[in-house]
Amino acid sequence: MAVLNKIRQQKFILIALIALGLLAFVISVPDILNMTDSSGAKQSYVGSVNGIDISREDFLQKVEVAQRQAGPSATNTQVANRVWEQEVRKAVMESQFEELGISVEQDKMRDLIKTSLATNPQFLNEAGLFDENKLNEFVANLKELAPQPGFFNGQPITYADWTNYEKNVASGALQQNYYNLVKAGLTGTLAEGELDHKLEGNKVDIKYVQVPYTSIPDSTISVSKSDISAYIKDHKNQFEVEETRDIRYVEFKEEATLEDEEAIKAELRVYLNGRLVDETGRKDTIIAFSKVKNNADYINLIANSNVKFDDRFVFKNSLPTEFADSIYNLNVGEVFGPYKHDGNFKLTKVIAEKNIPDSAKVRHILIPFLGARSATPEVTQTEAEAKTTADSLLAILKRDRSKFPEFVKEFSSDQGSAANEGRYDWHPYNTMVPEFNDFEFEGEVGDLGVVKTIFGFHIIEIEGQKDKKRAVKVGTISRKIEPSEATINKVFRDASKFEVDVDKKDFQEVATESKYNVRPINGIKVLDENITGIGSQRQIVRWAFNEETEVGAISRFTIPSGYAIVQLVAKHDKGLMSVEDASATVLPKIRKAKKAQLIKERITATTLEDLAAAENTSVRSASAITMKSPTISGAGREPMVVGAAFGLEEGETSDLIEGERGVYMVQVTKVTPAVELDNYQAAANRVEQRKTGAVASKVYNALKAAAEIEDDRAETQVQ
C-alpha cells in the first residue's frame, strides 16, 4: 500500500523515470542478450581449460538442468559455480585421457550403463532382473520424442539430457581407470616401510629450557611497512590475491515496531472476545472464537488466518514447544493467546480430543492411475479402472489374506515397501498422507480397506497399533508479524534521507550521527554472491565490479528485508596483497622473528641450568618424543625443536633453536631406538595404502593447479 500511495502521489515523476528506464534498458539489452565483451565481439565461451573451450550455450544448458534438479533451495550462482567446477574437472581429466589414449569402447559403455541402472525399477522385468530391451526401447523413444521430454524415474528428461548422462557415466569410468593407473604406479618400498616404522618407533627423552616470545612485549618491537613489503616479496605464493572490492553499507529493515505488534494483538483480541458493534457504531458482529461451531470457515474465511485450518489430531509434542502445556491442558472449546510464535501472533483453540495410538504397523498395495502423483509412463488405468482393480483385490483378500504378498509383488507400484511384502513397520502418527493416516490410526487392528490418496488407491491392512494417548484437534488464527504501512513509509523516508545526506557528507559520519550501524565487507570477489548480513546479493557484487562504479560511489538496493545503502570503499587489483591487507598476517611472523633474534643475542649461557637461571625459569622434561608426532609435553607442537633433538647424541646439548612459541635449548637424556623387525613389508603396505588412498583428491588437485584455466564467466555475464 505504501508503494501504491507513492505512485499515486508522484505519477508524473514516475512516468518520466519509466521513460528514462526504458531508454536505458533498450541501450543495454543487446549486451545482456548477446553477452558481448567490451570490444563488441560476441562471447561464445565462458572459459577454457588447457586450451579446451567451454561453450557458453552448453554451460548455460547444464546450469538450467542442474537448477531444476537442485530446486529452489540452491541459488543460480551456487548451481553455476557447481557446474563450472564439474566442467573444469571434466576438461582437466579429458586432457589426460587424450594424452594417454584412454577411451570407453561401445561394449564397455553398454556394461557401464547396465551397472548404473541395474536396480532401477523402470528397467526391470517381471523377475526383477535388468531388461536391456526396456532400456533400448526407452532410449529409442527419447530419441523419437526429441526435443520433447520423456520421463525417467518420474522426472522429465530429454534425449540431450540422456546423452549428457551417458557422457557423465563414461567420464566417471575413465577417471576411475586413470586413478587405477596412477595407483598401479605407487608402491611402498621396504626402505619406506622401515623409515615409517622408525619415525614412529624411535623415541627420545629430553630436558629443555624454553624462553617464550611473550617474555618480550609486542610494544617494544618495531615493524615497518618496508619490513612487511619485503616479507610479501619473499613469500609471493602466499600473498597472491584475486581482484576484489571493499564495500560498506547501512541496512534499513522493514520490520514491525512495538506499536505494530500491539496493533496485531489488539486485532486478535477481537476474535478472542467477539464484537457486536465497531468503533463507528456500525453493526459488525464477530462471534468469539470459543463459541464458534464451524471452525474451518471461521479461521480461513472470517479471520482470514495466514495459517489455514488443519483437520487433523496432534499429540502434545507437535504443539509449539514453549506453549505446549498451556494449549494441551485446555478443555475442548477453550482458547489460548494471543501468543508470539514463529514470527506470528496466534490464538489457538482446542476443538476436539480423542485417544489415538502413537504408532502403527501396516501393509498395503498401491494401485496407481493416470494423473496420480509419481505414476510412471507404464500406468494406463484410469481412476475408475484403478478403483475397480483395488475393490476386486480387496474382495479376494477378505476371503484369503495369505495372498497379500503375492498381490504386492504383482500389482503394487510402491517400490519402497514392495521388498517388505508391502509393509511399513512401526511409524508415528501423521507420517503418511492424511487419508492413509486416518485409516491406519482411527481404525482397529485387523481392519482391511481401500483408501484413495494423491498416489492412487491403497489396499491397507492394519497389523498393529500401540500406546494410545490423548490427541487434540486444534484450530489456530495466525497473523504474521509484519510492519504497518506507516512503518514501511518511515523506513523508506529514512533510507532516502540517508542516501541524500551521504552524497554530501562522509558515510560513516552521517551513520554515526543517525545512530545507524555501518557494516564493512572486505575482499568481495567478482563471482561472489553472499554479502554478510543480507544474504544473496549478486546485484551488489555486479555493481561493485562495474567499471563505471568509482571508489566512493553510493547506491541504494532493494533487499528482502528493506533497503541497503551501499558505498564502494576500495578496489583491489589482482596481484600481490597490499601491505595494509597483509599486515594482520605478516606482522606477528616478523615480530616473532625479531623477538627470536633479540633473545638469542642476549643469551650467553651454554648449559640448561645457566640458561634457566639467567632467564628466571626452570628446566623441564619431556619423554617418549617421536618424529611422527613432534609434540613436546609442556610446550606443544614444536617440529623444529623435535627435529633438532633427533640430531643429537645421548647427553649432547643443542645450540639455541627457534621454535613456534619461543627459543629453546635442548639436551637429550635418553635415546630409545625402534624395535628392529625381521621384515618391514607390513609397514611398507601401510605406506602404500596411505599413498593410494589420497590419489583421487591429490592427483586431481595437482593437475588442476598445473592447468591453464581461464574463467571468463564474469566477462560473459553468465552469473
| Identity of the amino acid at 98 | E
- Cell numbers placing 66: 542442474
Phi, psi dihedrals of residue 288, rounded to the nearest 5° = -60, 140
Q: Answer positive or negative: Cα dihedral of 536, 538, 539, 541.
A: positive
Side-chain-facing half-sphere of 633: CA atoms under 13 Å = 12
Which of 437, 458, 462 has its CA nearest to residue 447? Answer: 462
Whether the Cβ atoms of residue 354 and residue 332 lie closer than 8 Å to each other: no
Q: What is the pLDDT of residue 719?
A: 59
CATH domain 257-482 topology = Chitinase A; domain 3 (3.10.50)
Whether the Cβ atoms of residue 172 and residue 185 lie closer than 8 Å to each other: no
Residue 170 CA to residue 116 CA, distance in Å, equals 11
Q: What is the pLDDT of residue 107?
A: 79
Whether the Cβ atoms of residue 254 and residue 493 lie closer than 8 Å to each other: no
Q: What is the pLDDT of residue 617?
A: 95
Whether the Cβ atoms of residue 352 and residue 368 lie closer than 8 Å to each other: no
Q: What is the pLDDT of residue 153?
A: 75
Per-residue H/E/C for 602-629: HCCCCCHHHHHHHCCCCCEEEEEECCCC
Q: Is 141 exposed, middle or buried (0-12, 13-18, 19+ CB in 10 A)?
A: middle
Residue 245 CA to residue 270 CA, distance in Å, equals 53
The DSSP call for residue 300 is: I
Beta bridge partners of 476: 348
Side-chain-facing half-sphere of 520: CA atoms under 13 Å = 7
Per-residue pLDDT of 580-605, as tens digits, reads 889 999 999 999 999 999 999 999 99
| Identity of the amino acid at 277 | V
**Strand segments (E) across 230-375:** 240-241, 244-253, 275-277, 283-286, 313-314, 335-341, 344-367
- Cell numbers placing 618: 626452570
Q: What is the pLDDT of residue 279?
A: 60
Residues for the chain: how many in total?
719
- Cell numbers placing 542: 555486479
Sequence-separated (6 or more) residues with CB below 8 Å from residue 105: none
Residue 556 CA to residue 64 CA, distance in Å, equals 30
Q: What is the pLDDT of residue 90?
A: 87
405 cis-preceded (ω within 30 degrees of 0): no
The DSSP call for residue 126 is: T
Which of 523, 33, 580 has its CA nearest to residue 242? Answer: 523
Residue 435 CA to residue 4 CA, distance in Å, equals 44
Residue 397 CA to residue 461 CA, distance in Å, equals 10
Which of 208, 207, 221, 219 has its CA nearest to residue 599? Answer: 221
Instruction: List the chain residues with pLDDT less than 50.
Output: 1-42
For residue 152, what is the enclosing H or E element? Answer: strand 150-152
How many other CB atoms are found less than 10 A from the CB of residue 304?
A: 10
CATH number for the segment(s) 243-255+485-573 = 3.10.50
Q: What is the pLDDT of residue 23?
A: 37
DSSP H helical ranges for 152-300: 159-184, 190-201, 225-234, 258-273, 295-297
Intra-chain end-to-end CA distance of the chain, in Å: 33
Sequence-separated (6 or more) residues with CB below 8 Å from residue 524: 244, 245, 246, 247, 531, 541, 544
Can you give the residue ranges of every domain in the chain?
Answer: 1-34, 106-184, 203-225+582-672, 243-255+485-573, 257-482
Examine domains 203-225+582-672 and 243-255+485-573 and report if their fold is the same. Answer: yes
Sequence-separated (6 or more) residues with CB below 8 Å from residue 579: 225, 228, 229, 232
CATH number for the segment(s) 203-225+582-672 = 3.10.50
